[in-house]
């Protein structure tokens, strides 16, 4: 028998930022809870080949998959809600699509023909949607079309969806359209007209949605559901309320109360089990009701933009919920630490320095890493955070006053952080860092080893620079010891201070693997130390 292959498309209308990524992730969570083999796919209709070259001011954090793709932060939501590792097959951009089509044209695969958006680009898009199912062995893929209907960039994707609706049996394709029902501040009324207009736009592309998900700030009254149903030509039961909620993790539970999962499964003619969301419920309860409290400073360059550190925030929340504490994040701009020193970090129980690039704010981060060492405040350095901890240690403990990373001072006398010879040769910026999951061996007797309880781990990376082994002996002698190495022993993957309550710095990004129901061991260990300090 041919395996099932069903497609759910999620489009968005009216405005961006309605939570299409969280809606898609929630559908994944709900279908999985009913025993459906489901995967998720994000389409980013921009020309960048991946998200790696886009700065966080544009789209927030760059998320990294196990197989080393730099993606939009929605893939992070997907992994967390679905509890599944995703990869290349789950993320596509217009850059990738055109890249393949143009390469094929150069090879001569279309010889004699004019290469066009329809059918060549749309065929490539459809092939990539099928690949998401094949690569993950799933029977359903929920595909999120980034952007808003009506965007020029989105047109080829809408056309591909239109074609699939024609080509496949009716029960194999469903379209979910997320729109906004705003409240008019002058009269306090909810307005459905923007939703109606966005559905009109979708219809102009030849697509009639099956479900309208109405994002609204307050409960959606029955008469408005009926109005949306009538004007948008969907059954009233297919108008789903998506109310503003205090936490994104409540969205699947809210949608389940709306019966969305069952309605969608019925529309897809799929058999299913009873839903098992007990563990998720339990997690949400702990997230909201935990009584403990801990305040953590996150010292970074883009702190005014919290999405730039989204996975770190989520990892802290997951671990906090598991330990019964609310994690309050104090966002501290690294440049403020440069000016104010101690004052910028007053009253925190832990300091976390996340990943980053470029020189701005570096001295503030180095200062924070050194302050945490001196004051015995729990410290967690991640990627760039490990590099600044190494710089601080070299300067202030080893007395190498000018120690630096060659990323910030190409001619430093003490390059404690440097490029490997193979990285020095690389000229192009896109996709050339050390990316994706790599194994590491843990040093017995270290905190890191105790936290994982494993001899060997795999964690995701996204960096060019590495700890310089020439300095390792000096570091070890002075008490900053390697807690993890690459299996070939060439790369130091984690360092920790011997004489300190909790001072751990890792070259990888543990936050990418934290899941609501499987909090990351290092985040758990860090928060435990913070709450007892
Ligand atoms: N800029 C540093 C490097 O390239 C750190 C990168 C990061 O923190 N993700 O090595």
Q: Give 417's pLDDT tier (boundaries 50, 70, 90).
A: very high
308-317 residue pLDDT tens: 999 999 999 9
pLDDT, position 331 = 96
Model confidence over 58-108: pLDDT tens digits?
A: 778 999 999 999 999 999 999 999 999 999 999 999 999 999 999 999 999
Percent of the chain with pLDDT over 90: 87
Which atom of ligand 1 approaches the CA of 384 most closely? Answer: 8
What band does 16 get if pLDDT is binned at 50, 70 and 90? confident
The pLDDT of residue 280 is above 80: yes
**Calpha distance 74→10 (Å, rounded):** 13
pLDDT of res. 229: 96
Question: What is the average pLDDT score of the chain?
Answer: 94
Whether pLDDT at 293 is above 90: yes
Q: Is the peptide bond before 18 cis (omega within 30 degrees of 0)?
A: no
CB 176 within 8 A of CB 210: yes
Tokens 């007209």 belong to which residue?
193
| pLDDT tens readout for residues 134-158 | 999 999 999 999 999 989 999 999 9
Q: Which residues contact 479 (CB under 8 A, 6 or more apart)?
A: 397, 497, 498, 499
Distances 31 to 86, 90, 138, 205 between C-alpha atoms, Å:
16, 17, 12, 28
Q: What is the pLDDT of residues 107-125, one digit of tens each?
A: 999 988 999 999 999 999 9
Q: How far apart are CA 214 and CA 150, in angstroms?
A: 18
What is the structure's pLDDT at 412? 95
- Catalytic annotation on 232? no
| pTM: predicted TM-score of the whole model, two decimal places | 0.95
Annotated active-site residue 509? The verdict is yes
Question: What integer pLDDT is reported at residue 472 of this predicted model?
Answer: 97
Question: What's the distance, Cα to Cα, between the start and end of the chain in Å?
Answer: 60
Q: Which of 120, 449, 509, 520 is catalytic?
A: 509
Nearest CA to 342 out of 312, 377, 393 is that of 377
Region for residue 166 given its phi and psi (left: phi exceeds 0; alpha: psi -120 to 50; beta: otherwise): alpha
Atom of ligand 1 nearest to the CA of 433: 4
Cα–Cα distance for residue pair 93/75, rounded to 1 Å: 13
Six-digit token pair at 342?
A: 């101690």
Q: For residue 306, what pLDDT band results from cuts at 50, 70 and 90? A: confident
Residue of the CA atom closest to atom 1 of ligand 1: 357
pLDDT in tens, 71-85: 999 999 999 999 999
448-461 pLDDT tens trace: 999 999 999 999 99
Q: Encode 367-404: b = buried (16+ Cβ within 10 Å), e = exposed.
A: bbbbbbbeeebbbbbbbbbbbbbbbbbbbbbbebeebb
Burial 272-307 (b: 16+ CB within 10 A, else e): beebebeebeebbebbeebeeebebbbbbbbbeebe
Q: What is the rounded average pLDDT of the residues 399-410?
A: 96
The number of angstroms, rounded, from the C-alpha of 116 to the middle of its chain's C-alpha atoms is: 33
Report the alpha-carbon distance of residue 526 to residue 327 in Å, rounded.
12
Q: Check if the beta carbon of residue 527 is closer than 8 Å to that of residue 323.
A: yes
Catalytic residue among 216, 232, 383, 530: 383
Q: Choose the residue to mutate in 312, 415, 434, 464 for probing ligand 1, maximizing ligand atoms within 8 Å of C-beta.
A: 464
The answer to whether residue 383 is catalytic is yes
């Amino acid at each position: 028998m041919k395996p099932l292959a069903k497609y759910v498309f999620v489009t968005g209308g009216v405005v961006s930022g309605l939570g299409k990524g969280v809606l898609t992730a929630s559908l994944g969570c709900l279908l999985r809870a009913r025993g459906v083999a489901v995967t998720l796919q994000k389409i980013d209709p921009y020309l960048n080949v991946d998200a790696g070259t886009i700065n966080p001011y544009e789209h927030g954090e760059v998320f990294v998959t196990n197989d080393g793709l730099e993606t939009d932060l929605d893939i992070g939501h997907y992994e967390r809600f679905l509890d599944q590792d995703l990869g290349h097959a789950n993320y596509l951009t217009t850059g990738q699509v055109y890249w393949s089509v143009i390469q094929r044209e150069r090879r001569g695969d279309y010889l004699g023909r004019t290469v066009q958006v329809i059918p060549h680009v749309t065929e490539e898009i459809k092939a990539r949607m099928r690949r998401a199912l094949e690569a993950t062995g799933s029977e359903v893929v929920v595909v999120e079309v980034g952007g808003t209907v009506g965007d020029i960039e989105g047109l080829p994707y809408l056309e591909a969806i239109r074609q699939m609706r024609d080509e496949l049996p009716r029960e194999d394709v469903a379209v979910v359209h997320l729109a906004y029902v705003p409240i008019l501040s002058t009269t306090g009324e909810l307005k459905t007209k923007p939703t109606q207009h966005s559905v009109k736009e979708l219809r102009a592309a030849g697509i009639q949605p099956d479900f309208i998900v109405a994002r609204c700030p307050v409960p959606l009254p029955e008469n408005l559901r009926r109005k949306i149903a009538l004007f948008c030509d969907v059954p009233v039961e297919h108008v789903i309320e998506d109310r503003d909620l205090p936490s994104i993790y409540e969205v699947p539970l809210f949608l389940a109360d709306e019966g969305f999962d069952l309605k969608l499964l019925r529309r897809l003619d799929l058999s299913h089990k009873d839903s098992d969301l007990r563990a998720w419920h339990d997690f949400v309860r702990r997230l909201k009701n935990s009584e403990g409290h801990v305040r953590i400073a996150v010292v970074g360059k883009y702190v005014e933009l919290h999405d730039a550190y989204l996975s770190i925030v989520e990892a802290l929340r997951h671990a906090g919920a598991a330990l019964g504490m609310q994690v309050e994040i104090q966002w501290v701009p690294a440049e403020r630490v440069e000016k104010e020193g101690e004052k910028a970090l007053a009253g925190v129980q832990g300091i976390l320095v996340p990943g980053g690039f470029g020189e701005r704010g570096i001295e503030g981060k180095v200062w924070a890493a050194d302050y945490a060492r001196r004051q015995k405040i729990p410290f967690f350095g991640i990627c760039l955070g490990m590099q600044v901890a190494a710089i601080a240690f070299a300067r202030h403990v080893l007395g190498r006053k000018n120690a630096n990373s060659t990323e910030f001072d190409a001619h430093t006398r003490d390059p404690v952080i440097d490029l490997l010879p193979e990285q020095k040769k690389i000229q192009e910026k896109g996709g050339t860092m050390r990316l994706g999951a790599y194994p590491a061996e843990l040093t017995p007797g270290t905190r890191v080893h105790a936290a994982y309880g494993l001899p060997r781990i795999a964690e995701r990376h996204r960096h060019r620079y590495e700890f310089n082994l020439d300095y390792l002996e000096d570091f070890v002698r002075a008490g900053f010891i390697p807690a993890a190495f690459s299996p070939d022993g060439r790369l130091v993957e984690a360092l920790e201070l011997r004489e300190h309550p909790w001072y751990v710095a890792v070259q990888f990004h543990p936050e990418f693997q934290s899941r609501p129901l499987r909090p990351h061991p290092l985040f758990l260990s860090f928060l435990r130390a913070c709450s007892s300090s």
